[in-house]
Amino acid sequence: MRASLASPIAVACAAALALPVTLAAPATATARPAANALPPVQDELPGSTQSLPLRPLGASVRTFGADPGAAAEQGLARRDVRPFSLVGVVWDDPAAALHGTVQVRTRAAADGVWSPWQDVETHNDEHGADPGSAEGAGGTLRGSTAPLWVGDADGVEIRVRAEEGAGGTVPLPAGLRLELVDPGEAPAAPPPRTRTAAPPAALTAAEAAASGANSRLAPYGTTVIPAADPALAPEAAEPAAPKQPYIGPRPKIITRKGWGADESIREKGFVYTSTIKAAFVHHSATGNNYQCSEVPSVLRGIYRYHVKSSGWRDFGYNFAVDKCGNIYEGRAGGVAKPVLGAHTLGFNTNSMGVAVLGTFTSTTPPAAVVTAVARLTAWKLGLHGIDPKGTQTLVSGGGNLYTKGRKVTFHTIAGHRDGFATECPGGRLYNKLGTARTSSAKYQGRL
């Protein structure tokens, strides 16, 4: 994915930016588990994360210099583990890259059948907060692969192999750990909400804050922000916002409450940028083996992996879209507001990140995906007077393609690979962005 999931800025922040980063660091194991021992769980919150240190594999082990732990092949043999549904690998230094391959196979909890080896996308370093930002400098950050959705499983095997470079085998980063994420059970559906001036007492403070950021669009505690009636005049989502001539009708958006986000694990407060000038489209690289009914679980797994395993302040993307065309609220702070995300390293300021759930390197995205991206961008970019078929200039916050401070011009709806040396959002999805731009402009009434 080294061509675009989260890469290529004067930031207008909420008061929360001044708050210290308070993410809980991933727990570290004090001893390696026996071959079949059940690993420790990090915490007792809804859902859980099992964090297992990798170790050198077999006779193929080669070491580098004075570090006998830097083996060319690391992993874990088949073992029983507590139930999980999403996997990833993390390591100590967030600035270090994993040059090699990561493959896992898992045992289905339902029938005990082992899957074939599956590739885990290693190049996740192009996602994340911009260098020098409060989130990007957080002490809890780790290097990480993309997460992979595997469904209900209770057994795992993993192998990580270093790649060969011009000067020999490239060392693997230190502190490799396998993260097994259980997204937890879906919360009970709340009763229908009516619009109130104050949040219901049943909501926690964190839930009320996340829901309250959307209170101009829907009642507190709502699971879905309804689509606006396209027959009505275009709306500015915030009454105080200046009205624009071209704003697409708001699409239906499933809220964080709707997909069951545990608001207690993210950092408190919200951080905003000054405007939204461009939308970066990503694929999540979590694989395509999910049912749309499972998406709330997939999102809870990704969210937990971003926060508890990778050390981010919240879910990285501003929005997610599933293969059925459903749109989901991502990072908390309000769907109509310019929330600062951690999706395109170097270009998070004044942009939004949209993750299409799946892997689209060799799989063509369904038409519903392209339509959803077009509808979402027609509305959200329209709130800021932006033409989806135009171009916008952003200032790089630093990355592997553009030096910090460089001004870069992008399509208003761009792929992650346009701002970073990555394959993201996958060639098949990237090739559909022209269609999305045209459709988005039509929804805005420009064509």
- What's 330's domain CATH number? 3.40.80.10
Helical spans, DSSP H, in 222-294: 256-259
**What was the pLDDT predicted at 59?**
52
User: Could you give the number of structural domains in the chain?
Assistant: 2
Residue 352 lies in a domain: yes
Residue 370 lies in a domain: yes
Which one-letter amino acid corresponds to residue 249? P
Q: Take residue 65 and report the two structure tokens written for it.
A: 């210099």
Q: Is residue 165 within 8 Å of 295, Cβ to Cβ?
A: no
Residue 191 lies in a domain: no
CA angle (269, 274, 275) in 5-degree steps? 115
Residue 20 lies in a domain: no
Is residue 260 left, alpha or beta, with left meaning phi > 0 and alpha meaning psi from -120 to 50?
left
pLDDT under 70: residue ranges of the chain = 1-46, 59-70, 124-128, 130-131, 138, 189-198, 230-244, 400, 421
Q: Report how far apart, in Å, the C-alpha atoms of 98 and of each of 54, 163, 417 are.
A: 14, 9, 19
- Asked whether residue 241 falls in the same domain as residue 378, the answer is yes
- Asked whether residue 93 falls in the same domain as residue 61, the answer is yes
CA-nearest of 201, 215, 190 to 334 is: 215
- Asked whether residue 307 falls in the same domain as residue 394, the answer is yes
DSSP state of 309: I
Q: Is residue 417 within 8 Å of 123, Cβ to Cβ?
A: no
Element (H, E) at 297: helix 295-304
Residue 6 lies in a domain: no
Q: Identify the domain containing residue 427 by its residue range.
A: 205-443
Residue 250 lies in a domain: yes
- Asked whether residue 36 falls in the same domain as residue 167, the answer is yes
Which one-letter amino acid corresponds to residue 216? R
Q: Take residue 64 and report the two structure tokens written for it.
A: 């580098």
Q: Is residue 52 within 8 Å of 178, Cβ to Cβ?
A: yes
Residue 200 lies in a domain: no
- Asked whether residue 241 falls in the same domain as residue 361, the answer is yes
- Asked whether residue 118 falls in the same domain as residue 262, the answer is no
| Burial (CB count within 10 angstroms: exposed 0-12, middle 13-18, buried 19+), residue 196 | exposed
Residue 13 lies in a domain: no
- Asked whether residue 267 falls in the same domain as residue 167, the answer is no
Q: How far apart are CA 37 and CA 103, in angstroms?
A: 21
- Asked whether residue 88 falls in the same domain as residue 148, the answer is yes
Q: Maximum Cα–Cα distance for the chain, whole Å? A: 69
- Asked whether residue 227 falls in the same domain as residue 177, the answer is no
Q: How far apart are CA 389 and CA 399, in angstroms?
A: 25
Q: How many angstroms separate the first and last alpha carbons of the chain?
A: 34
Q: How far apart are CA 287 and CA 282, in angstroms?
A: 13
Q: How far apart are CA 396 and CA 345, in angstroms?
A: 9
* Buried/exposed code over 390-412 (b: 16+ C-beta within 10 A; e: otherwise): eebebbbbbbbbbeeeeebebbb
**What was the pLDDT predicted at 136?**
73
| Burial (CB count within 10 angstroms: exposed 0-12, middle 13-18, buried 19+), residue 418 | buried
Q: How far apart are CA 40 and CA 351, in angstroms?
A: 39
Q: Report how far apart, in Å, the C-alpha atoms of 381 and of each of 5, 236, 347, 375 are.
A: 20, 11, 16, 10
Q: Which residues, 6 or more positions from 86, have their beta carbon under 8 angstroms from its beta carbon? A: 147, 148, 149, 150, 180, 181, 183, 286, 298, 301, 302, 305
Q: How far apart are CA 101 and CA 166, in angstroms?
A: 17
Q: Take residue 99 and report the two structure tokens written for it.
A: 């040059």
Sequence-ordered strand ranges (E) for 221-360: 224-225, 253-254, 278-283, 319-321, 327-329, 351-356
- Asked whether residue 312 falls in the same domain as residue 349, the answer is yes
**What was the pLDDT predicted at 124?**
62
- Asked whether residue 411 falls in the same domain as residue 323, the answer is yes
- Asked whether residue 282 falls in the same domain as residue 391, the answer is yes
